[in-house]
Chains A and B, each alone.
Chain A
Amino acid sequence: MTEPVLAADDLRVWYGTERGPVRAVDGVSFAVYEGETLGLVGESGCGKSTLGRAILGLLPRGSAMDGSLRFKGSELVGLPRKELEGLRGPELGLVFQEPMTRLNPLMRVSEHFEETLKIHEPGLGKKGMRERAVEALRHVGIPPSRYDNYPHEFSGGMRQRIMIALTLVLHPAFMVADEPTTALDVLVEAQILRLLGDLRQNFRTAMLLITHNLGIVAEACDRVAVMYAGRIVEIGDAREVFAEPKHPYTRELLASTISLHTTDLHSIPGAPPDLADPPSGCRFHLRCPDAMRVCVEKAPVPVRLETGQRTECWLHGPHDQVPANGTEPLEREAISVADEA
């Protein structure tokens, strides 16, 4: 197998707060290969965006990172800020959530591209810069005749296309897209998803696509990682995971998604836990319909299943590590509406 573009191993991110450390990302491992899109899903507050920022070295002050994060084989954890900044752009790209607020209204589109290219590829020259920029814009469907327009002359969807072109113009090997379509309308969302799919094929960019919309993952991703309370609880081929979810959280999340084929409403009781003081054992046990005694006592360990998925849930073993009586169903009080998300 080829080397992954990006590989995380037991990656942890803490935020220092008055209530003590908040473990927003708490030991996650995954790899993304060339030309592959990994979807990252989970409810708000599960650590998705923190993970995306950690990869790009955009964590705020007062946070700490530990474990290993290797980009093309070299370690990013512990890298001085200056060196990380050098990677950001030409190697690690980012597409933000709100295209409306990310372009400078006083700068022409051409000036945005020139600024980026001047910093990262100083030898290009005016003509070279134009060629590169127009080429990137063409890939996202912005005509060259609009190159000297200002951001306000474009619609929301076109601005998101321009943002994507600004990331692409440097040909990064890895890209984080954090909710890239959340602020857009359904039809424009579908256009952008199609565009991201084309880019994956044309540029072979490896991508982490963060979203709370499971439909988008099913449509745009090769693999999916499901995050809950700072852990990846299930990871695998997107079609496999969605067709046969192994972790109860994945299953419940899928069931609560309202699609055109929904016939019954379903929701997950309660809310994701406070990451300053996460529950003992499996972090999902308080909301899990399948919770067993062992789930309170011991944190589940990652298990690789025959289908290729990796999950951490005692339902899938390893069964020799489950104590006696551990598989008895957990008795507990129902969660009231008062505690919901």
Chain B
Amino acid sequence: MPTKLEPETPEVGADDLLMDVRDLEVHFALRGGALSRFTGRGGGAVRAVDGVSFGLRRGEVLGLVGESGSGKTTLGRALLGLVPATGGSIGYAGHELVGMSEHNLRPLRRELQMAFQDPHASLNPAMDLQTAIGHPLRIHKMVRTDTELRERVVTALERVGLAPVERFMDKYPADLSGGQKQRAVFARATIMEPKLVVADEPASMLDMSVRAKVIELMQDLRRELGLTYVYITHDLATAKFFCDRIAIMYLGRIVELGPTEEIFANPRHPYTRSLLAAVPEPDPRVEVSREVPRGEVPDAAIRPAGCSFHPRCPKAFEVCGWEGRDLRALLEERWTTLTEDDYLAESSLFADLTALDGQRGTVQVAAASGHMGEEVAARLTRIRDSDTDEPLWRGVADIRAKGGHAEVAFRDGTDPGLTLIGDVEVACHLHDPAIQEAPA
């Protein structure tokens, strides 16, 4: 069985970069409600990819790893111009891909190919394999005769292991198993001998017993065609095996980027650590710690203040960007642990908590009618004193009563940028020398 390939280029110069991505942004505008359309004001934007920079080295496998909603798929598609970038730049072979017209992009697509996630959906059910796999050659007018087309299709099929080819040329996708379909998808993606293949979760829809075969196939194709891969996945185990470098994504940004061995041996970002701890381990002899962060990936239309991961982060502290809605989440989480009577007594103090959602800085927690701001402030103080380990309270400077409200003053948070430590880039205040030297 082939084992992992050594990276072919240990030292990277400008010539070794296949693609250079700088500050890439893909924002999707949201349509506002009826009123905002009337007033002409926009409804905001989902920042699917929000300022991503990296260099893609010739011949490497770069993994984009993250949960759904992290923007990894959108980023992969934007690299090929399949979704228009709204900002930043993608340099490829002397061209700027951002803003390039479809007409100019088309010839470049021969070199930039994509293998999609669901092999059952990415093959046309009404096209036999011969037609489907040869289709790119016809579209790009790269063959003159039918004989030539057939020869190229035969080569592509053999290359992905669908041999004897006579058995497969006239088959329809419905006749194939999941693994065979994924091979056909790779035959189509590689028939034009591209330079870059973006593979979006190519193994995740398949059975465990077939996943290894898909990874093996990608390794074989890489060796044979000298491919560069962007491998998009949420599965850290396959990423560890297949990738040379890994970029961990969270809510549209890269939070950690570095060589695979380093990321796994010494994960620095708390998010990376959580992801690693969550991978199910089949070997009962391996002890694994299970510190699972609370909550889920938040809505990309309304980013959390400061570091996007702070609401879920077990290591978050003063400067991570605490805000009103974090307090709401804390109270609601607490209420699932109280008895019915305690819950009713406590929740009846508070007016509608949804009012906390948009507030930052000093936030107003309204008392329910019939209750005073003092009661709310006293209750919040009690909750704080009963759970001093909760990271949110480190971000609270003061709780005081003011009329019918309690005012909770949050400390200012900042957005951590990427810091280079050794050969790993990480975006976390824990690793920001400026903050670590001057504790709050």
Assess whether A157 is in contact with B284, with CB atoms less than 8 Å apart: no
Chain B residue nearest to A259 in the complex (CB): B237
Chain A residues numbered 97-147 whose CB sits less than 8 Å from any CB in chain B: 131, 134-135, 137-138, 141-146
Q: Are A146 and B281 in contact (CB under 8 A)?
A: no
Question: Whole-angstrom distance between the alpha carbons of A20 and B336 in the complex?
Answer: 53
Beyond the given pairs A145-B353, A186-B279, A267-B212, 4 more chain A to chain B contacts, judged by CB atoms under 8 angstroms and listed by A's residue number, are A44-B207, A242-B284, A260-B276, A340-B177
Judge whether B402 is part of the interface by a CB distance below 8 angstroms.
no
Pairs A–B under 8 Å by Cβ, sample size 8: A43-B209, A187-B293, A187-B296, A190-B280, A266-B1, A266-B212, A340-B177, A341-B179
Is B92 positioned at the interface, with any CB of A under 8 Å from its CB? no
| Complex Cα–Cα for A146 and B347 (A) | 12
Interface segment among B126-134, B159-167, B360-368: the answer is B159-167
In the complex, are the beta carbons of A185 and B234 less than 8 A apart?
A: yes
User: Chain A residues near B426 (CB, 8 Å)?
Assistant: none
- On whether the beta carbons of B177 and A271 are closer than 8 Å, the reply is yes
A303 and B248 CA atoms in complex are apart in Å by 48
Say whether A212 faces chain B, with CB atoms less than 8 Å apart.
Answer: yes
Q: Is the CB of B161 within 8 A of A337?
A: yes
Q: A141-B336, A238-B284, A265-B241 are in contact. Are A259 and B279 (CB under 8 A)?
A: yes
Stretch at the interface among A250-258, A275-283, A309-317, A326-334: A250-258
A268 to B216, CA, bound (A): 13
Within 8 A of B (CB), among A196-244: 212-219, 238-239, 242-243
Q: Who on chain A is nearest to B350 by CB? A: A145
Report the separation of the CA atoms of residues A216 and B208 in the bound assembly, to the nearest whole angstrom: 12
Are the CB atoms of B336 and A143 closer together than 8 Å? yes
Question: How near does chain A come to B215, taking the closest CB pair, in angstroms?
Answer: 6
Task: Please count the residue pairs between chain A and chain B whose beta carbons lie under 8 angstroms apart in the complex.
Answer: 175
Interface flag for B240 (CB, 8 Å): yes
A95 vs chain B, min Cβ distance (A): 18
- Measured in the bound complex, the distance between the Cα atoms of B212 and A211 in whole Å is 18
Asked whether A296 is an interface residue with its Cβ less than 8 Å from the other chain, the reply is: no
Q: A242–B282 contact, CB under 8 A?
A: yes
Tell me if A324 is interfacial: C-beta within 8 Å of chain B: no
Assembled-state Cα–Cα distance A137/B335 (Å): 11
Q: Contact: B177 with A187, CB < 8 Å? A: no
What is the bound-complex CA distance between A276 and B167, given in angstroms?
22
Question: Mostly helix, strand, loop or mixed at chain A's interface?
Answer: helix
A336 in contact with B216 (CB, 8 Å):
no
Q: Does B320 contact A (CB under 8 A)?
A: no
The 8 Å CB contact of A212, one of B162, B207, B337, is B207
State in angstroms the CA–CA spacing of A9 and B82 once bound together.
55
Question: Could you tell me which B residues sit within 8 Å of A by CB distance?
Answer: 1-3, 67-68, 161-164, 167-168, 177-180, 183, 207-213, 215-216, 234-238, 240-241, 264, 274-286, 290, 292-294, 296-297, 332-333, 335-337, 340, 343, 347, 353
Is A188 part of the contact surface with B, judged by Cβ < 8 Å? Answer: yes
**What chain A residues lie within 8 Å of B282 (beta carbons)?**
214-215, 217-218, 242, 254, 257, 259
Question: Does the CB pair B285–A243 fall under 8 Å?
Answer: yes
Q: Which of B296, B332, B353 lies in contact with A188, CB distance below 8 A?
A: B296
A83 within 8 A of B: no
Q: Which residues of A pack against B, CB within 8 Å?
A: 43-44, 131, 134-135, 137-138, 141-146, 155-158, 185-191, 193-194, 212-219, 238-239, 242-243, 252-254, 256-268, 271, 336-338, 340-341
Centre residue among B67, B178, B292, B333 by max chain A CB count within 10 A: B292
**Top-4 shortest CB links A-B:** A215-B280, A337-B161, A185-B67, A143-B332
Give the complex CA separation of A132 and B212 in angstroms.
46
Q: Nearest A residue to B332 by beta-carbon distance? A: A143
Closest residue of chain B to A265 (Cβ to Cβ) is B212
Distance in angstroms from A43 CB to nearest chain B CB is: 5
Roughly how many angstroms separate A215 CA and B281 CA in the complex, as a whole number?
5
Are the C-beta atoms of B207 and A187 separated by less than 8 Å? Answer: no
Minimum CB–CB distance from A130 to chain B (whole Å) comes to 10
What residues of A have a CB within 8 angstroms of the CB of B281 in the complex?
215, 218-219, 259-261
**Docked CA distance A338–B175 (Å):** 12
Are A258 and B163 touching (Cβ within 8 A)? Answer: no
- Of chain B, the residue at the smallest CB distance from A271 is B177
Pair A187/B238 contact, Cβ less than 8 Å? no
Q: Return chain A residues, CB-CB under 8 Å to B332.
A: 143, 145-146
Closest A residue by C-beta to B286: A261
Task: For the complex formed, measure the closest distance between the CB of A101 and the CB atoms of chain B, giving whole angstroms.
Answer: 16
Give the docked Cα–Cα distance between A144 and B341 (Å).
12
Give chain B nearest CB distance to A149 CB in angstroms. 11
Q: Are A145 and B335 in contact (CB under 8 A)?
A: yes
Given contacts A212-B207, A256-B212, contact A142 B336 (CB under 8 A): yes
Residues of A within 8 A of B237 (CB): 258-260, 262
CA–CA, A188 to B312, complex, Å? Answer: 12
Contact of B67 with A268 in the complex, beta carbons under 8 Å:
no
Contact B290 A340 (CB under 8 A): no
- CB distance B284 to A145 under 8 Å? no
A residues within 8 A CB of B215?
258, 265
Contact partner of A194 among B234, B292, B347, CB < 8 A? B292
Look across to chain B and name the residue whose beta carbon is closest to the beta carbon of A264: B1
| Alpha-carbon distance A157/B440, docked complex (angstroms) | 35
A158 to chain B, nearest CB (A): 7
Tell me how far the C-beta of B243 lies from the nearest C-beta in chain A, rounded to whole angstroms. 13
Whether the pair A267, B209 counts as a contact (CB closer than 8 A) is: yes
- Bound-state CA distance A134–B347 (Å) is 14
Shortest distance between the CB of A210 and any CB in chain B (Å): 14
Q: Name the residue among B215, B275, B278, B290 with the largest chain A CB count within 10 angstroms.
A: B278
B67 touching A187 by the CB < 8 A rule?
yes
A262 to B3, CA, bound (A): 10
Q: Are the CB atoms of A218 and B283 closer together than 8 Å?
A: yes
Also in contact, A340 and B180, with CB within 8 A (given A134-B340, A242-B282, A254-B282): yes
Residue among A135, A239, A264 with most chain B CB within 10 A: A264
Q: Please judge, given known A-B contacts A145-B347, A216-B280, whether A264 and B296 are in contact too, CB under 8 Å.
A: no
Q: Tell me which residues across on chain B come within 8 A of A212, comparing CB atoms.
A: 207-208
Q: Which of B3, B234, B333 contacts A263 (CB 8 A)?
A: B3
